[in-house]
């Protein structure tokens, strides 16, 4: 079949030469002017020939791909664009549509594969461009776009963004994605420049090119903003930046507000946009001045377009319908559809919307994202919003059997599952939460919902697994965690840390786990339950000595030395400061992980587990003795107490530890500090160590008399937990060797502290006689409580027998620890029963509904 080219073509692609020597494309290799670009486009258009043919382009963000794209638009050849890095996408196109010509970018030399001299297809005269519907790479379903669609949407976008010849946009998105193409089209329409790159925003090379090329804008999808936070975008010097655009999915309102405010301070605008490939990219935009007042909305229609809201039976809100010159011709599912003209006149978005009082449109749900569970209609978008309100980034899929939710980052999935089921009115067993490092995404950055569903439906909807030899390990681990943490609902992917474990519960769990598994795996506290498996039976030599983690042994030994020194059984000072290093070490291991709001709750909970029993005991001590004051009860003696050393200074260790924990918790609640810690997990605590050394060497006065400054010791312990290589451990050892001497002006005391720090750095476990393993665990677990109670226990006994006074103090501390753990467990069980009852009541209501 032979079809001569007609005059139907995209005007901006045909008029490139009118901008002459203005820069059109800027790359690391140099600058290509509009005239040079036009010459290349014309040359390739001639090579495509006078017969109108179907062309497929495997596109990358490079000059050859851009020239090929423009040549097809300029000369009227219908073009299918697929990503160059997804061979399956091209394979699907070749199989279903059988293009006449295939163009590829091949390491700087354009590949031209002419599969036939003419065409095998009947091609509608309006057809200009075919794109994937959603960024997927294997579906044969394509969106048919006309020349007028492409031109009109480019004009609308250039209009509301105010694009001019001086603008230069960095290509942060793939050409095969309609959003990425819309950036190219709108800028070439106005004679602006394109900073062509395939680098990601996390790559420093991207920002180097951005600055050197004088870029004024870039496009972002929701995931991009997560990456921008990681790379410290807020602090970057980008003098040429004029605006940032966002589309490709809903961006949570808090992020919209935050980045809009950042832009206002730094002199650039944020344009939140709404669109679809079916509308050639854009349907609406939120004017930047409204981004801080109504950040949850999509704004107003693009120039030339309009919205209406059609009622949907059974739903509170109606469906958003768009009309405009950029609405597609229709879909294509095979080569025969390429001959069709316009089959639709308006676009039914499938989104549920309302008109906001501010005069802008707001998306409130998705018509197609509903499932029905136990008779209850569930909005999957609403599920994601519930979790977002709890500080968890998630993606939800499912069917009538149950929900599958992927939760990004280190979250307590068991707790989130309970809250989610309660809020949604669903039985807990119908919701499966899966913790993932990052949400599954398509190449466009959109959520890959089929991949979410593939994570697995709730266990109650699947056949029961066959139990075998390998199941004993996880069941045993669940029992240990359940009893240690008082958390009855434990899943395969839960970890000790995600279940709320901290340094107080770590000791008991580690000792029991080592007994159950036959060994204690490295990093067991962050290892999923399903991966904690039994080890072969230990040898006889191993049974004589139990390897126990060094931090646990140090805690047990330190409390014995502290109390013995106070009683006068023997004299060994310095171990209290070793405990400060261990406190920083454990803070880093248990309290510095996960999303900021989640770990803030975990940190505050950990502080409460120290403060509550301390305040309770000191209040009793205040009532039964005359040694203490109300400032002791409030843990403020170090600030408000007497300057002379009295009994009121007995609890200095607890007070200073609480001050440190509250201070670092507050610091990490600050976004820039949180970002710095995530980006530089070792350098961050080292910087704190440096700040602490200012008080250590008396450059600054910490304002806490009678206690040596300890921030640097705590921070050094934190850094030790972050060290991963021998080089890093050597560096930390050098810091310790250089800073500990002279600290107390007491050599034996300084050697004790230095030895404790070096053991923490270099020796992961210490051998303890097997018969003392349980005692070591109890002493370490109850060390804080023994420190508290010994001030009341030992004085009446020390005169009779110092050894008896030490033993009684340690026993009383263990008893107070056990009592506190029992009370905490009872409270936890009560909360769980209340939550379970509410979930059950909600489920009953759902069934009745």
**pLDDT tens, position by position, 27-49:** 988 999 999 999 999 999 999 99
Quote the CA–CA distance of 152 and 156 in Å, as a whole number: 6
Three-class HEC string of 660-722: HHHHHHHHHCCHHHHHHHHHCCCHHHHHHHHHHHHHHCCCCCCCCCCCCCCHHHHHHHHHHHH
Quote the CA–CA distance of 228 and 407 in Å, as a whole number: 20
Residue 33 near residue 17 (C-beta atoms within 8 A)? no
Instruction: Inform me whether the pLDDT recorded for 6 exceeds 50.
Output: no
Q: Answer with the residue of higher pLDDT: 465 or 126.
A: 126
Torsion angle of C-alpha atoms 399, 402, 405, 410, degrees rounded to 10: -170
Phi and psi for 328 in degrees, rounded to 5?
A: -55, 165
Residue 33 near residue 23 (C-beta atoms within 8 A)? yes
Percent of the chain with pLDDT over 90: 52
Other CB atoms within a 10 A radius of the CB of residue 377 amount to 12
What pLDDT score was predicted for residue 706? Answer: 60
What pLDDT score was predicted for residue 425? Answer: 63
What pLDDT score was predicted for residue 443? Answer: 66
pLDDT band at 490 (very low <50, low <70, confident <90, very high): confident
pLDDT band at 486 (very low <50, low <70, confident <90, very high): low
Q: Answer with the residue of higher pLDDT: 130 or 430.
A: 130
Q: Beta-strand (E) ranges in 498-560?
A: 545-549
pLDDT band at 305 (very low <50, low <70, confident <90, very high): very high
DSSP state of 4: B
Among the listed residues 577, 561, 542, the one whose alpha carbon sits nearest the alpha carbon of residue 765:
542
CA distance between the termini of the chain:
61
What pLDDT score was predicted for residue 148? Answer: 96
Express each pLDDT in 337-389 by its tens digit. 999 999 999 999 988 899 999 999 998 877 767 776 654 567 787 788 888 87
What pLDDT score was predicted for residue 838? Answer: 54
Other CB atoms within a 10 A radius of the CB of residue 485 amount to 21
pLDDT band at 461 (very low <50, low <70, confident <90, very high): very low
Quote the CA–CA distance of 304 and 151 in Å, as a whole number: 12
Torsion angle of C-alpha atoms 39, 45, 48, 52, degrees rounded to 10: -170
Range scoring the smallest mean pLDDT among 275-284, 326-335, 598-607, 811-820: 598-607
Quote the CA–CA distance of 271 and 186 in Å, as a whole number: 15
Per the DSSP assignment, residues forming a β-bridge with 59 are: 83
Strand, coil or helix: what is 153? Answer: helix
Express each pLDDT in 362-375 by its tens digit. 988 777 677 766 54
Residue range 6-22: average pLDDT? 87
Quote the CA–CA distance of 72 and 68 in Å, as a whole number: 6
Range scoring the smallest mean pLDDT among 40-44, 390-394, 524-528, 616-620: 524-528
Residue range 201-228: average pLDDT? 91
What pLDDT score was predicted for residue 831? Answer: 59
What pLDDT score was predicted for residue 847? Answer: 38
What pLDDT score was predicted for residue 8? Answer: 66
Strand, coil or helix: what is 608? Answer: helix
What pLDDT score was predicted for residue 3? Answer: 44
Cα radius of gyration rounded to whole Å, the chain: 33
What pLDDT score was predicted for residue 171? Answer: 93
Instruction: Inform me whether the pLDDT recorded for 730 exceeds 90.
Output: yes
Quote the CA–CA distance of 340 and 319 in Å, as a whole number: 27
Instruction: Inform me whether the pLDDT recorded for 474 exceeds 60.
Output: no
Instruction: Inform me whether the pLDDT recorded for 784 exceeds 90.
Output: yes
What pLDDT score was predicted for residue 468? Answer: 29
Torsion angle of C-alpha atoms 413, 415, 417, 422, degrees rounded to 10: -170
**If you average pLDDT over every residue of the chain, what do you get?**
84
Quote the CA–CA distance of 187 and 165 in Å, as a whole number: 8
Residue 320 near residue 329 (C-beta atoms within 8 A)? no
Residue range 1-6: average pLDDT? 44
Express each pLDDT in 680-693 by its tens digit. 889 999 999 999 99
Quote the CA–CA distance of 744 and 396 in Å, as a whole number: 57
Residue range 489-494: average pLDDT? 70
The pTM of the full predicted model, rounded to 2 decimals, is: 0.52
Instruction: Inform me whether the pLDDT recorded for 330 exceeds 80.
Output: yes
Residue 272 near residue 246 (C-beta atoms within 8 A)? yes
Six-digit token string for 399: 């069917």
Strand, coil or helix: what is 216? Answer: coil
DSSP state of 235: G
pLDDT band at 403 (very low <50, low <70, confident <90, very high): confident
Six-digit token string for 105: 């970018």
What pLDDT score was predicted for residue 595? Answer: 64
Six-digit token string for 300: 């107003």
What pLDDT score was predicted for residue 2? Answer: 42
Distances (CA, A) of 340 to 51, 55, 146, 329: 19, 17, 11, 8
What pLDDT score was predicted for residue 444? Answer: 66
Instruction: Inform me whether the pLDDT recorded for 715 exceeds 90.
Output: yes
What domains can you pick out in the chain, each with its CATH number?
A: 11-362 (3.40.50.12780), 369-460 (3.30.300.30), 549-826 (no CATH)
Six-digit token string for 681: 């997990």
Six-digit token string for 702: 């910490």
What pLDDT score was predicted for residue 385? Answer: 80
Residue 270 near residue 243 (C-beta atoms within 8 A)? yes
Express each pLDDT in 154-195 by its tens digit. 999 999 999 999 999 999 998 988 999 999 999 999 999 999
DSSP tally for the chain: helices H, then strands E: 30, 27
**CA geometry: angle at 88 spanning 62 and 339, to 5°?**
85
Six-digit token string for 521: 């795996």
What pLDDT score was predicted for residue 547? Answer: 78
DSSP state of 794: S
Quote the CA–CA distance of 243 and 225 in Å, as a whole number: 14
Instruction: Inform me whether the pLDDT recorded for 563 exceeds 50.
Output: yes
What pLDDT score was predicted for residue 828? Answer: 59
Strand, coil or helix: what is 65? Answer: helix
Percent of the chain with pLDDT over 70: 84
Six-digit token string for 534: 């039994």
Residue 228 near residue 51 (C-beta atoms within 8 A)? no
Quote the CA–CA distance of 163 and 563 in Å, as a whole number: 74
Half-sphere exposure at residue 283, Cβ-oriented, CA atoms within 13 angstroms: 27
Residue range 306-324: average pLDDT? 90
Residue 378 near residue 371 (C-beta atoms within 8 A)? yes
Instruction: Inform me whether the pLDDT recorded for 639 exceeds 80.
Output: yes
Residue range 43-57: average pLDDT? 93
The distance of Cα 288 from the centroid of its chain, to the nearest Å, equals 26
**CA geometry: angle at 38 spanning 32 and 39, to 5°?**
90
Residue 361 near residue 320 (C-beta atoms within 8 A)? yes
Instruction: Inform me whether the pLDDT recorded for 705 exceeds 70.
Output: no
Q: Which of 128-142, 199-213, 297-311 has the highest mean pLDDT?
A: 297-311
DSSP string, 70-117: HHHHHHT--EEEEETT-HHHHHHHHHHH--SEEEEEETTEEEEEES-S
What pLDDT score was predicted for residue 136? Answer: 44
What pLDDT score was predicted for residue 230? Answer: 84
Residue range 505-528: average pLDDT? 70
What pLDDT score was predicted for residue 533? Answer: 65
Residue range 556-561: average pLDDT? 95
Instruction: Inform me whether the pLDDT recorded for 842 exceeds 70.
Output: no
Instruction: Inform me whether the pLDDT recorded for 491 exceeds 90.
Output: no
What pLDDT score was predicted for residue 839? Answer: 46
pLDDT band at 72 (very low <50, low <70, confident <90, very high): very high
What pLDDT score was predicted for residue 534? Answer: 65
Quote the CA–CA distance of 254 and 393 in Å, as a whole number: 12
Six-digit token string for 404: 């599958």
Six-digit token string for 467: 């139990």
């Amino acid at each position: 079949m032979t079809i001569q080219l007609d005059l139907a073509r995209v005007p901006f692609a045909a008029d490139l030469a009118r901008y002459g020597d203005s820069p059109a494309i800027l790359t690391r290799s140099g600058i290509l002017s509009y005239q040079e670009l036009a010459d290349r486009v014309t040359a390739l258009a001639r090579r495509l020939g006078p017969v109108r043919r179907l062309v497929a382009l495997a596109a990358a963000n490079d000059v050859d791909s851009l020239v090929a794209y423009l040549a097809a638009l300029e000369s009227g050849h219908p073009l299918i664009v697929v990503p160059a890095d997804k061979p399956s996408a091209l394979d699907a196109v070749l199989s279903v549509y059988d293009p006449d010509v295939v163009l590829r970018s091949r390491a700087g030399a354009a590949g031209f594969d002419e599969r036939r001299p003419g065409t095998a297809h009947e091609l509608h005269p309006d057809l200009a461009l075919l794109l994937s519907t959603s960024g997927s790479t294997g579906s044969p379903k394509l969106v048919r776009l006309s020349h007028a669609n492409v031109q009109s949407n480019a004009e609308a976008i250039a209009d509301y963004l105010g694009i001019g010849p001086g603008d230069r946009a960095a290509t942060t998105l793939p050409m095969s994605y309609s959003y990425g193409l819309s950036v190219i089209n709108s800028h070439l329409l106005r004679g602006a420049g394109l900073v062509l790159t395939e680098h990601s925003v996390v790559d420093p090379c991207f920002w180097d090119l951005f600055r050197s090329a004088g870029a004024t804008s870039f496009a972002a999808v929701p995931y991009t903003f997560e990456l921008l936070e990681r790379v410290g975008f807020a602090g970057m010097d980008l003098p040429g930046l004029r605006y940032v655009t966002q589309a490709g999915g809903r961006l949570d309102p808090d992020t919209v507000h935050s980045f809009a405010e950042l832009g206002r301070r730094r002199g650039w605008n944020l344009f939140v946009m709404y669109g679809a490939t079916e509308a050639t990219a854009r349907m609406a935009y939120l004017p930047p001045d409204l981004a801080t007042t109504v950040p949850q909305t999509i704004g107003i229609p693009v120039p030339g377009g309009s919205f209406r809201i059609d009622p949907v039976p059974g739903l509170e809100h109606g469906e958003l319908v768009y009309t405009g010159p950029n609405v597609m011709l229709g879909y294509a599912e095979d080569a025969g559809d390429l001959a069709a003209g316009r089959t639709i006149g308006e676009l039914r978005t499938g989104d549920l919307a309302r008109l906001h009082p501010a005069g802008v449109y707001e998306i409130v749900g998705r018509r197609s994202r509903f499932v029905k569970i136990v008779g209850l209609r569930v909005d999957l978008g609403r599920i994601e919003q519930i979790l977002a309100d709890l500080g968890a980034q998630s993606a939800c899929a499912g069917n009538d059997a149950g929900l599958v939710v992927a939760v990004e980052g280190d979250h307590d999935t068991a707790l989130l599952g309970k809250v989610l089921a309660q809020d949604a009115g669903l039985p807990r067993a119908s919701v499966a939460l899966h913790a993932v490092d990052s949400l599954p995404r398509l190449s466009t950055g959109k959520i890959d919902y089929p991949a979410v569903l593939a994570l697995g439906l709730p266990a109650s909807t699947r056949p029961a697994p066959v139990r075998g030899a390998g199941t004993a390990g996880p069941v045993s681990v669940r029992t240990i965690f359940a009893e240690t943490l008082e958390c009855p609902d434990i899943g395969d992917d839960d970890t000790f840390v995600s279940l709320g474990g901290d340094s107080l519960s770590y000791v008991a769990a580690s000792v029991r786990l080592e007994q159950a598994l036959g060994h204690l795996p490295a990093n067991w506290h962050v290892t999923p339950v399903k991966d904690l498996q039994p080890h072969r039976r230990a040898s006889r030599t191993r049974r004589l000595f139990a390897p126990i983690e060094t931090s646990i042994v140090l805690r047990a030994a330190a409390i014995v030395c502290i109390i013995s020194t106070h009683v006068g059984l023997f004299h060994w000072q310095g171990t209290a400061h070793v405990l400060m290093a261990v406190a920083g070490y454990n803070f880093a291991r248990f309290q510095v992980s996960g999303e900021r709001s989640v770990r803030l709750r975990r940190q505050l909970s950990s502080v409460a587990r120290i403060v509550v029993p301390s305040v309770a005991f000191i209040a009793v001590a205040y009532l039964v003795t005359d040694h203490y004051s109300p400032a002791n009860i409030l843990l403020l003696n170090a600030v408000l107490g007497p300057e002379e050393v009295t009994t009121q200074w007995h609890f200095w260790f607890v007070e200073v530890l609480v001050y440190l924990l509250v201070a670092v918790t507050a610091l990490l609640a600050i976004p820039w500090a949180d970002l710095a810690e995530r980006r530089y997990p070792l350098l961050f605590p080292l910087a704190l160590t440096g700040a602490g050394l200012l008080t250590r060497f008396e450059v600054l006065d910490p304002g806490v008399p009678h206690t040596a400054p300890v921030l640097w010791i705590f921070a050094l312990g934190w850094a030790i937990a972050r060290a991963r290589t021998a080089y890093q451990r050597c560096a930390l050892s050098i810091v310790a060797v250089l800073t500990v001497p002279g600290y107390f002006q007491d050599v034996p005391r300084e050697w004790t502290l230095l030895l404790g720090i070096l053991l923490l750095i270099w020796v992961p476990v210490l051998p303890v006689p097997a018969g003392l393993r349980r005692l070591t665990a109890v002493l370490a677990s109850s060390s804080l409580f023994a420190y508290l109670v010994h001030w009341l226990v030992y004085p009446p006994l020390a005169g009779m027998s110092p050894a008896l006074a030490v033993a009684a103090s340690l026993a009383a501390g263990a008893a107070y620890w056990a009592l506190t753990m029992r009370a905490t467990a009872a409270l936890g069980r009560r909360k769980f029963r209340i939550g379970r009852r509410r979930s059950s009541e909600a489920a009953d209501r759902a069934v009745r509904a």
